[in-house]
Amino acid sequence: MVSMKDIAATCKVSVATVSKALNDHADISEDTKKMVRKVARDMGYFPNSVARALKTNKTYNIGVLFVEEAHSGLTHDFFAHVLDSFKRSVEEKGYDITFLNCNKSRPNHMSYLEHSRYRALDGVVIACVNFEDPEVIELLASDIPVVAIDRECDTKTCILSDNESGIAQLMDYARELGHERIAYITGKDSAVTRARVRCYRDKMEEFGFEVRDEYIAASEYRDIGQTAMVTSELLSLPKPPTCILFPDDYASYGGINVIRGMGMRIPDDISVAGYDGISLAAQIQPRLTTIRQDTEEMGSRAAKKLINLIEGTAPAERETIVVTGKLVKGETFAKNPEL
């Protein structure tokens, strides 16, 4: 195995100079750095991660805790894009990522905290988890730096999408087009869902519109079948809505299929909108009106915050970082046909 001593002998410099060049120290010239790095590559040198960990007290390894209850895993458009941005951002800083094992039925199961200790993780990012899970509570109470994505918690920094702003933008757009009978199909009960429903109700009252309980229907996120069923129920009401807000883009296609099956045209007969801004929404006709969540910004902000916590360049106090999404005016919203 090639050592720094071998590189130093080839470059005719000291081992200290090789170490500084490979670690990008400022007191080494750029020409020296380039020369040492080229020789290191040519000789097939790889730094010893164990030795580096002993020297720096860091493994440059970050854990990812991702438990998606619907079992769509990394095919979940929103979280997949957030985690992709996070991954690219931490890799730029020289960190690797390890997914924490979430299979609690396996033999010799370790808790999330135990697994983090076992892997000597420098920090953990958590997304789409049950914050009432005792193992999650244990991890959050530990001294390991943790950043949460899309869920606010009392003890750790969190990166949130501005759910209230997203619903407010959709509601303002619906009112602008003359809609008063606006229905909202919610996802599973959660902090995100409650924030969105609260904003929906506030906006209806702000506009002076009647808040009909039957217009707030419960479904599941990313559940095409259940969303289709709920949409059918809404359209069967004595006074059906002229506009429906779906829980997310993916689920919206269940509702859209029902609407088309009833011989109704979108948006001529009824307006619909999704939420998330997944790529599919822009590719299927008509293009879906939606809120595009800024997954790139959320992932990069989570990475920056977590690395700052790990490296001690940011205060350890809990912080809430809110990232605002953008209204995408597709082709599924039009003026109220009853006007």
At residue 193, the pLDDT reads 93
Confidence of residue 292 (pLDDT cuts 50, 70, 90): very high
Strand order in the sheet with 243-245: 216-218, 182-186, 243-245, 271-273
**266 close to 243: Cβ distance less than 8 angstroms:** no
Q: Strands 290-292 and 326-328: what pairing?
A: antiparallel
Cα 265 to Cα 228, 269, 271: the distances in Å are 16, 5, 9
Q: What is the pLDDT of residues 213-237, one digit of tens each?
A: 999 999 999 999 999 999 999 999 9
Is the per-residue pLDDT at 71 higher than 90? no
User: Which domains are assigned to the chain?
Assistant: 4-47 (1.10.260.40), 61-161+296-324 (3.40.50.2300), 163-293 (3.40.50.2300)
Q: Are 235 and 261 in contact (CB under 8 A)?
A: no
Percent share of the chain, pLDDT over 70 = 94
DSSP string over 40-52: HHHTT----HHHH
Residue 128, SS3 per DSSP: coil
pTM, whole model, 2 decimals? 0.81
Lowest mean pLDDT among 66-75, 77-86, 187-196, 266-275: 66-75
**Residue 56: pLDDT band with limits 50, 70, 90:** low
Query: Would you say 150 and 126 are in contact if contact means Cβ atoms under 8 Å apart?
Result: no
Q: How confident is the model at residue 305 (pLDDT cuts 50, 70, 90)?
A: very high
Across 143-171, average pLDDT? 93
Q: What is the pLDDT of residues 91-146, one digit of tens each?
A: 999 899 999 987 777 777 899 999 999 989 999 999 888 888 999 999 999 999 99
pLDDT above 80 (res 69): no
Question: For residue 32, is pLDDT > 60?
Answer: yes
Place of tokens 């730096």: 145
| Cβ atoms < 10 Å from Cβ of 253 | 19
DSSP for 4-39?
Answer: HHHHHHHHTS-HHHHHHHHTT-TTS-HHHHHHHHHH
Among residues 238, 231, 275, the alpha carbon closest in space to that of 256 is found at 231
What mean pLDDT do residues 41-52 have?
72
pLDDT of amino acid 191? 86
Q: How far apart are CA 42 and CA 23, in angstroms?
A: 17
Say what the pLDDT of residue 313 is: 78
